[in-house]
Structure formats: C-alpha cells, structure tokens
Structure 1
Amino acid sequence: MTLNQNTPLQILKKYYGYDTFRLQQAEIIDTIISGRDCLVLMPTGGGKSLCYQIPAIIKGGTTVVVSPLLALMKDQVDTLDSNGIPAAMLNSLQNETETVKVKIAARRGDLRLLYISPERLMGEIDGLLREMNISLFAIDEAHCISQWGHDFRPEYNRLSVLKKYFPKVPLMALTATADKLTRKDIVTQLAMDNPQVFISSFDRPNLTLSVRKNLNKKQKLSAILSFIEQHPRQSGIIYCMSRNSTEILVRELSQYGISVTAYHAGLSSRERETAQQAFLNDRVQIICATIAFGMGIDKSNVRWVIHYNMPKSIECYYQEIGRAGRDGMKGDTLLFYSLGDVVMLSKFAEESGQKKINLEKLRRMQQYAESPICRRRILLSYFGETVDHDCGNCDVCKNPPQRFDGSVLAQKALSAIVRTEQQVTFNLLIDVLRGSHKAEILKRNYDKIKTFGVGSDLTFRQWQGYLLQMLQLGLFEMLYNQGEQLSVTELGWKALRNELEIKLTWVTDEPVQPVAKTPKKTIRHEVAELSDDEKLFEALRGLRMKLAVEEDKPAYTIFTDRVLQEMVERKPVTLYDFARISGVGEAKVSRYGKQFVDLLRKELNIKREKGDSYIETLMLLRQGLTIEQVAESRNLKPVTIYSHIAELIISRKLTDWSNYISVFEIESVANVISSSESKTQNLKPIYEALNGEIDYGKIRLALAVLSLE
C-alpha cells in the first residue's frame, strides 16, 4: 500500500490539516527519518504521536508502537483511520479472526503503524516481527521502564532486547513525565544508541491550577457541584484515592441529575470497558475514577480534572491534570488537599518497595499543595524547567500572598550551597545557615566556611519555609540519586550574581492552619439561554456524535472541540473553506465535509450557490480521485464532472489540467476549430469532425483551456 511520499510539512497538511508544526516536532521528525535514536519529552497534548506517525508515512515499512494501555491503542487507531492512514493493533481483547487479519496485513506491509503492548511484543519477537519490514520502534509512556518513574512496569524492562534483535531499526522513546534521573534511566534500560534528547517545555498555560485545603466531605461535595455547574455540558474526570470513594461520589452526584459513572480496579474488565467507552463516546459527562483510569487516554475534549484526594507524586498529578485541555483549549483543574490524605499516602509509601524515594516524592507533592508560590513555577521547577515570572493562571497568582524582596536571603542560602561544594542536604543546609555545631558540620569543616551562621536570626522552621520556596522557584534542585544533595541551577546563579530579584512570601515561626470557608449550598439553576454561536457549536457536536455512533468510534477522533470551535468562528459554507479549517485533513474533507457544510448552511440559513458544486468537485480532485470516482462520490454523472472541471479551468481555480486531458487532444480540438468557418463552440460538430475519437467531456475541457489564450 502506497501513501503520498511528500515532505513532512506537506504530509502534516494532507493527513492532519495543520499548516505548521509545533515547537521541536519538525526537528524530531527529521531525526527519526535520518535513522537516529531519540528520547522525546513532551507534555500531554503536546503532539508526541505526530513525531512517529509522520515518519511512519515517509519511511515506508511499518512503525511498531509499544503502548501499555488498550484504550490508547484504540484511540490512536480510530484517529489514524479518520485521517486516512492505515493502522491496526494487536491486543488480548481481539478474537482469533481479528488477530489473523492484522497479522496478514502486517506481513504484507499494508500497515503504516502497528500498536502493540509490551507483553504481546515479546511474544511476537521471534515470529511476526521477524517477518515484517519494521522502520521504527516507538516506545510510548517510556517512563514505565524506569524504577525512578512514577508508573514503573516490570514488563517494560524486557524491551532492552529490541536493540539486540533489531540493531539497525531506530528507537524512539516518548514520555510526558520524567525528571532528569528517569530520563537517564530510560536511555540505559532501552540500550539506546547515543540518542538525541528533545525536551519540550512542560508548561501547559491553558490549564488553570487551583487547590482547596482541609474541606470535609460535605464541603467537598458542595464545591464539586458548584464546579460542575460552572462547566455545563463539559467532560470531566474526578480522581479518587479509593474504589469506595468513587462509588459514593457517583451515587451522590447522580442524585443531582448529573451524568456520571465509576471506574476502578474492583470492577470487572467488561464493566471497566463499558464505563470507559461511555465516557470516551460522550454518553456520560463525568467519570469518577481511581488512578487505574486514564493513562494514555487521548480524549481531547476533557475540559476539567478534579482530584478528590491528593496524588502520591507530582509526576502523577502532572500526568492526570494533563488529561484536561489536550486540544489546546482552556482546561480547569482543582485539587482537594488534607492532612488525612498525607497520612494515608505516607502509609502506602512506607509499605512500598521504594520507601525512601516514594516518601520524598510525596513530600514534594505536599509542599506543592501547601505552597504560597506560583503553582506553575513549582511544577516546572520539579521537572528541571525554570522561569523568572509567575503564571497569572493559578489560585496563588490570582490571590497573591504578601511578598518581600528575598534576594539577600536567597544569596545567603545559595552561597552556602556553593561553599559546601553542592554536597549539602536540605536540613544540613539549614544547620549551616543557623550556625549549628552538630557533629556532622564540624566533621565536614562547614563551620569554617564564610556563610556559616549568616542566617542565625531565623528559626529552623522559617529557613525551612524560605528554602522550600527557593526550591520551588527553581533556584536549586534536589538530586535524589546523589543522596538528596542540593545543586544550584542556572537561575540560582543569576540570583547569586544579583542579576535577579527574588520575591518570597513571609514565613512565620508557627505553622498557620488554613481555614476553609464553607461553600454555599449548591443550587442547580436552569441552563442559561445559549447564544447563536453556542447553538451552532451544539449542532455541530450533535452531528459529530451521530457520525461517531454510526462508525463506532469516539467523537473526538472525528473532530476535536477545538476544530468545531474554529468552524463556529469561521463558519465555512463551502468545501473549499471547510478544508482550510486547522485540523481538517483531506480524508476528513472527503468523508465528513459535505455533511458539516450542509449543516452549517442550514443553521446559518445560507442557500447553496451554483459555484459551491464546482468547489466540491475541486476538493475531491485535489485528493487524487479520478473523474469517475468523483462522480460516484457525488452521485453525479461523469459528464457533469467534466462540466465542473471546465468551469474551474475557465475561472482559473484549476490550473493543472494535465491529468484530465492531453496536449494532443487539445491540439486536435484546436485544429477543428481553426478549420471551421464559423469558429463554432458547438460540441457536436467538433465531436463528428474528430470521428468520435475524443468524447464530449474532453472536448469541453479542451475548449476551456483554449479560452484561456
């Protein structure tokens, strides 16, 4: 099976409907096409899949995508199918007939992408994979291979054999959540060959970040009801710590007429699949789930995420909130935090196989929830990305605490870190700054450095609070794999050289217990009258849902909310304008264009114009369809399509007519016309003069071309 072998940018437009790549995508694609291994860190919704899907089209052969979850595979395959790209998956839910069909297609080279789980891949490594022409291995959710990752999976460890069995096939590892230690471990565990590492910004500026502290169950429910009321008809996820919490919350929300279902490991596989598909296909608005739900879910129209309980780590939190706003439109996140969550999660960490690292990750998550610092800066700093300004889109920024110029305090701390040769830990640094004469300080001669005791005017608790803010601002980082030693960052060096003003929040000697305001009882109001544009959006959503049900696929794989919103804004009432909507590729113009354009015309009360039919023909011709195929697609006769092409040539909307009529045929018609005394444009005399060797349709095209001279 042959796909159009164009440049990456042409393929981006043809199959995905976008005019430009996002940051780093083009460079990543070029690296893979050149045959080099690479590690890609890109935030959820940042466009990771394009980085291996486009090379799959260009390189030929089959790209094998290793993915840990069946839902991700199905989403990706459905989306690729909608875009006209041949793809399939192998998983445990398929019956024998389906499996055989996929394997036959893979052996024949009919697939550009084959999605497979790590367990299934290992079972096929000596069979099917050896019989395929594999152009690339793409390892999705690659953090699963690392013991330092937040979702370590032992089955990923076996993927290191890929380089042994397929040494000439490039390897691509992709993840949205990996700190420095995890990134290094991924490269080692996969035995990658000098990979090029791409690290995109972890920033998701379209997401708002909010935390509510110390609310009881009744207050939480009231806050959730109020939140849902502010997001009418929008899909959302509520993450809970326990199965029981999800079930209780579903029952409570259902009493308010809210469309909601539960998802957790206590349900049967069939029940989980039913719940997941109901949510993916927009049959329910909200899913209450444990962390068992959502990794790799590609549902682009999730507009909000609530954490009923605090997650166990910043990596988990970042990945879970990343399921909101994947289409780039606004997404809201809300985290409920209580000390009860910390106690329970601490117990889990104590009982885990990696007690020390899990307790430290939990501590950083707790600090995020309690911090008076811009929450986005904390997230970015955790992943090694520093910024010198607040985001303006989190609850701290919107309700800022009182701050002061803490540059001198920061310089004292940073200087102490440097003078201890960056081998000091968090609490030991406080002891150095306060001038403690503990045995460890004396043993290391830290009492001799210039900054010893420069912070003796502050209590241990105060220094703890200020250092935590500095850590979260990204002035220094904590090296978990080096005994939690502190290391000054580039931003920290700027502060140390007095090139940057550091704003800190006052820390009192005693911990302040936040008082949570009891929210007012939520009242369910009638939905406000929709504007004309909102009505149009709902109509487009309705058509999208109808098509999704007919094709048995999630609605967002047909068009994302962002694409529908652009349709509302630009109101394309011709196929030509419809094809110019960002995110609408050629296959989707052909498959869905007429129905959406007809709906837009109906909703906008715009009558069909004669020229519209010509443009519809032009769009189909540009997709490579023959005249006969266009006629069949439009339920018209081929002679009518010839007439359309003639009009398009005359109006100069179609300039390349060589696929439809030859120069010889044009010259033959021209000779007949020049020899005719009447210079007739009547087709019948021309047809008879040519002894019927050129049909009427082509004569019409020839006359159109000749009229241009």
Structure 2
Amino acid sequence: MTASTASSLAQTRSLLQHLWGYPDFRPPQGDVIQTLLTGQDALIILPTGGGKSLCFQLPALMQTGLTLVISPLVALMENQVQDLQQRRLPAALLHSEMASVDRKKVLWALETQQLRLLYLSPETLLSAPVWQRLCVPNLKINGLIVDEAHCVAQWGETFRPAYYRLGAVRPALLQHKPPTTRLAIAAFTATADPTTQDTIERILGLDHPHRVRLSPYRSNLFLTVQSISTPRGRRQRLIQFIGSQFRQSGLVYVRTRHDSEALAIELKQQGHATAAYHAGLAANDRRQIEQDWLKGTLQFVICTNAFGMGISKPNVRWIVHYHAPFLLSEYVQEIGRAGRDGKPAIALMLISSWLDPDDKTRWNFFQQQMRSQIQSAQKLAQAIPPHGSVASVSKQFKEGAKSLSLLYKTGTLSWLDPFHYEINRHKNNGNRNNTHNAAVNSVQPMQTYLSTKNCRWQSLLSAFGCDEEAKSFCCGHCDLCRKR
C-alpha cells in the first residue's frame, strides 16, 4: 500500500466514523471505495445486505462534483436518499412520481451544482430536461453508478429498454466536457452469474473493470422447499407457517396481482395484519404499505416481485415464496430481504406436486409469453427505419423501443448516442435464434435448483459461478442437508 493510498483510506475511514458511526469497513468495502476514488471502472458483486450503497456513497461525498446513481425502483431510491438527507448530506432523487414543485427544486440544485449524489432511473436520466442539464460543460460529473446492475441484463431487452442505452451515455456526456474529463462507471449487484456479468460489462461499455465478487452465501438464511398437492393445501401450509412465526416480520411473494389481492383479503379476514402490494397500485398506496411494514403496523406484505429490491428492514425473520420465481436471480434478491441483522431467518418456497398442475401452467405461460414478445419484436424490427431516433420509432410503433433493444442484443444495431441508432440488417442475423433460446432457457437454473438432491446453497453457489466454493459444500441447515 502506497503512502497516498494509506492516507486516502484513513480519510475515508474517518468520514465513515463521522457520518455513519461505524468503526471500520467490512471487507471488501475499503477496496471498492479506493477503486472508485481512482476513477477506475468496476463491477462489484456483493451479497444482499453486504453494504453496497456505502461503497459508492462515501467516494461521491469525498469528491467535488456529481455522482449519478442509476436505480431501478422508486422505493430503492427513496430509501437511500432519505437516509442521506437525514444525515444532512447533499443528495437528491428524480422520478416521474414526484410533484412538479419538488422536481423543479432538484433540477435547480442540479443546475447550481449543490449535489454530490443524484439518484434517478434510466428513463429519467435520458429525459430531455435532465439530459440537457447534465451536458452543460462546467457541470463536473465524476461517475455513473448502476445499482442493481443485473437489471441491465434482465430487463433491458423488453421491460426496461432504456437500460440497453446506458452504454452510450458516457461517450455522449464526454463530448460536452473538457478534454481531460474522466467519467468512471461502476456496476453494483448481488445477483449476477458469469454470463450476466459479461452482459453487464458489454452493455455498459466497462473499460477493463476492477472486479470484486463475494459469494452469495448467507449462513443465517435457512432455505427450504416444500411440495404441496393442491391449491387448498398451499393456502393451508402458508397459514400454518405464518402462525408459527409468532408475529415476526416477513414477506409473502406471489406471481400475480390477483394472487396478492386474493390472499390478502383471505388472511385479513383471519385477523392478520397484512396488505397486497403490486405494481398496479397507485404510488402513494405503495409508499404507505412500505412505511406500514417498516414500522411494524403490518406484520407481513403479500407482494409480487415489485417488492424485490430496495426495502431494507433488518429484522425480517421469514420469506415465503407462495409460487416459485421464474428466475434464480429474482429468488436470491427476494430471500435477501430476510435476516439483514445477521440473525437466523427462514426462506420457504412452496411448489406443487404432480397432483396440482398450477405451477406447470405458470411456467409454460411465462415461456410462451417470452417467445411471443421476441417474435413480435423481430417482426416489427423489419419495418423500423435503418437509422433514426428512439423517440420517433417509439411514437410510430407501439413496441418500437423494445424492438430496438432486441436488435442491439443481436448485434445488428449500434447506438450513435443514447437517443439515435443505426441498423446493419446483414450483420449477425444468426444471433436472433440464440436470443430466443437464451430467453427461454433463462428459467432452467431455477428448475435445476428445485430438483437438486444436494445442498440448496451448493446449488446456488454453482449457479452464480462460485465453483471452487461449491465443491463439496454443505451448509448443514437447508432442508436437504437436514434430511441427510
């Protein structure tokens, strides 16, 4: 360690103690912070509850200039910014649900360079009012943080196509800045297998990133999968399990909005303090449910994957997956809500046996839906102009932005900047079948996890590329280890 590095580390440790009250960093926080302070690109994979946000917040506060934090969910942004603002730190957020007066205040703070951290979604980043202000030459931007970076690979193709344009942000911004400007990109996530890591690096345009990866293993999380014969049996097992938890805080994950509402009605009638949570609720209703759960007014929430990221409550003792998630990354994110205080927590998943075809029907529907989306995008791609703007294509075609993302993934489209594209229809057309197969096969890791006969955590370690650690691994406390 050089003298300058030691001095910088001492300074960051002093700021950590002053602002957060922690005596020292947890490994590898110090290493990650030093990487960001040197302006190097980074890909950071730390388990849920591993202190990722501190790794980019502290360097941002130590530097003059602005750090942009790209975040997928309003709840995730609000949770972090509220904590920073309570500490009187120069941080703010922008999202589409904000009141106009609040939005204007943040834009003014951005213009007058009062901020060190600005949280926003990919879509807000690329909106005209924000982009124009970011391109002002004298606005110093130190870096771009992509939080929950697995969303780049998981959502960029269909659900959130703006993610696929993030790789064009850095070169476009640098065109408006002084020639010596450096703008680093750091991607943070808890769930990225080797393929997803490569996808994140390629789409974001990371330049020889410093990689830090810790195992997703959480010794205090007890994983259990139980087979249920009938829909009625599934409900009865859920009710029995909740009753055994002595009113401790938890979450119940379901697949659909209808499931969340139907279960919430039934359990509230039985006297449970709960509520349904899904993306179809009004923003104010979602925020109220989140706050009621955090305060303990609600013992548990029955939610879709809209509740998967960003809500941090230390004393969550249990998670139930009423239905199996389709994606293993989704599952690891969701069980990561539990046991953040380091104390034991249970993650129970209910799956149907051959007597109950419900789960198989859901899996088949999910795969067919993916096939249909890809086929529609491919058909639409033939009608899209060979070059133009995302805005004009989105206005002309209902699913135009998604089709552009698909073309980008297959290698037939290049971004001229975050708003304009160029298509070479003769390039890499053979990749379209690979795109289709990759999307459909994305559910295979979860199916492998459910059918494993070995340790549950060993299966997860293998799926996320921790091959050495997975060898002969036995957690000793999952349902399969306990059977042995």
Same fold (TM over 0.5): yes
Question: Offset of 1:260 from its aligned partner?
Answer: 0.3
Give me the whole-angstrom Cα distance separating, in 2, the residues matched to 1:28 and 1:269.
Answer: 34
Are the structure 2 counterparts of residues 57 and 151 from structure 1 closer, same or farther at C-alpha, using a change threshold of 3 Å?
farther
Give me the whole-angstrom Cα distance separating, in 2, the residues matched to 1:150 and 1:251.
Answer: 35
Moved more, 229-238 or 285-294: 229-238
Unaligned runs of 5+ in 1: 401-709
Question: Offset of 1:311 from its aligned partner?
Answer: 0.8
> What do residues 263-321 of structure 1 show as CA deviations (whole Å, max 9, x unaligned)?
12343444334333332343211111122223232333322210001110211111111
- 1:79 counterpart (78, 83, 99): 83
Question: Offset of 1:27 from its aligned partner?
Answer: 0.7
Are the structure 2 counterparts of residues 365 and 151 from structure 1 closer, same or farther at C-alpha, using a change threshold of 3 Å?
farther
Q: Tell me, yes or no, if structure 1 residue 398 matches structure 2 residue 482.
A: yes
Give me the whole-angstrom Cα distance separating, in 2, the residues matched to 1:45 and 1:152.
Answer: 26
Equivalent residues in 2 for 1:456-471 (5 A)? none
Q: What is residue 542 of structure 1 aligned with on the other side?
A: none
Q: What is residue 23 of structure 2 aligned with on the other side?
A: 19
Q: Secondary structure at the match of 2:92?
A: strand
CA contact (8 A) 1:214 1:338 kept: yes
Q: Secondary structure at the match of 2:317?
A: strand
Q: Tell me, yes or no, if structure 1 residue 36 matches structure 2 residue 120.
A: no
Q: What is residue 177 of structure 1 aligned with on the other side?
A: 191
Q: What is residue 588 of structure 1 aligned with on the other side?
A: none
Give me the whole-angstrom Cα distance separating, in 2, the residues matched to 1:393 and 1:129.
Answer: 53
- 2:100 counterpart (90, 93, 96): 96
Give me the whole-angstrom Cα distance separating, in 2, the residues matched to 1:281 and 1:355.
Answer: 44
Q: Which has the higher contact order (CA 8 A, sep 6+)?
A: 2
Q: What one-letter code is carried by the residue in structure 1 that aligns with 2:27? A: L
- 1:370 counterpart (433, 448, 451): 451
Q: What one-letter code is carried by the residue in structure 2 that aligns with 1:384? A: G
Q: What is residue 389 of structure 1 aligned with on the other side?
A: 473
Output the TM-score relative to the length of structure 2.
0.77
Q: How many pairs align?
A: 397
Q: What is residue 363 of structure 2 aligned with on the other side?
A: 345
Give me the whole-angstrom Cα distance separating, in 2, the residues matched to 1:79 and 1:117.
Answer: 18
Question: Offset of 1:147 from its aligned partner?
Answer: 5.7
Equivalent residues in 2 for 1:629-644 (5 A)? none
Equivalent residues in 2 for 1:535-550 (5 A)? none
Q: What one-letter code is carried by the residue in structure 2 that aligns with 1:39? A: L
Q: Tell me, yes or no, if structure 1 residue 164 matches structure 2 residue 187.
A: no
Question: Offset of 1:5 from its aligned partner?
Answer: 11
Q: What is residue 298 of structure 1 aligned with on the other side?
A: 312
Question: Offset of 1:178 from its aligned partner?
Answer: 1.2
Q: Tell me, yes or no, if structure 1 residue 67 matches structure 2 residue 71.
A: yes
Are the structure 2 counterparts of residues 355 and 384 from structure 1 closer, same or farther at C-alpha, using a change threshold of 3 Å?
same
Are the structure 2 counterparts of residues 61 and 327 from structure 1 closer, same or farther at C-alpha, using a change threshold of 3 Å?
farther
Give me the whole-angstrom Cα distance separating, in 2, the residues matched to 1:220 and 1:151.
Answer: 32
Give me the whole-angstrom Cα distance separating, in 2, the residues matched to 1:30 and 1:151.
Answer: 35
Q: What is residue 442 of structure 2 aligned with on the other side?
A: 361
Equivalent residues in 2 for 1:455-604 (5 A)? none
- 2:53 counterpart (49, 52, 68): 49
Give me the whole-angstrom Cα distance separating, in 1, the residues matched to 2:158 and 2:11.
Answer: 36
> What do residues 535-574 of structure 1 show as CA deviations (whole Å, max 9, x unaligned)?
xxxxxxxxxxxxxxxxxxxxxxxxxxxxxxxxxxxxxxxx
Question: Offset of 1:219 from its aligned partner?
Answer: 2.6
Are the structure 2 counterparts of residues 14 and 254 from structure 1 closer, same or farther at C-alpha, using a change threshold of 3 Å?
same
Give me the whole-angstrom Cα distance separating, in 2, the residues matched to 1:281 and 1:155.
Answer: 34
Are the structure 2 counterparts of residues 333 and 115 from structure 1 closer, same or farther at C-alpha, using a change threshold of 3 Å?
same
Give me the whole-angstrom Cα distance separating, in 2, the residues matched to 1:157 and 1:262.
Answer: 31
> What do residues 59-98 of structure 1 show as CA deviations (whole Å, max 9, x unaligned)?
2222211111111111001111233422111111222221
Give me the whole-angstrom Cα distance separating, in 2, the residues matched to 1:151 and 1:47.
Answer: 30
Question: Offset of 1:196 from its aligned partner?
Answer: 0.9
Give me the whole-angstrom Cα distance separating, in 1, the residues matched to 2:133 and 2:157.
Answer: 32
Output the TM-score relative to the length of structure 1.
0.53
Give me the whole-angstrom Cα distance separating, in 2, the residues matched to 1:82 and 1:327.
Answer: 21
Greater C-alpha Rg: 1
Give me the whole-angstrom Cα distance separating, in 1, the residues matched to 2:350 and 2:122.
Answer: 35
Are the structure 2 counterparts of residues 151 and 372 from structure 1 closer, same or farther at C-alpha, using a change threshold of 3 Å?
farther
Give me the whole-angstrom Cα distance separating, in 1, the residues matched to 2:67 and 2:314.
Answer: 24
- 2:350 counterpart (336, 340, 348): 336
Give me the whole-angstrom Cα distance separating, in 2, the residues matched to 1:118 and 1:150.
Answer: 14
Question: Offset of 1:355 from its aligned partner?
Answer: 5.0
> What do residues 355-375 of structure 1 show as CA deviations (whole Å, max 9, x unaligned)?
533443323312322322100
Give me the whole-angstrom Cα distance separating, in 1, the residues matched to 2:464 and 2:304.
Answer: 24
Are the structure 2 counterparts of residues 102 and 212 from structure 1 closer, same or farther at C-alpha, using a change threshold of 3 Å?
same
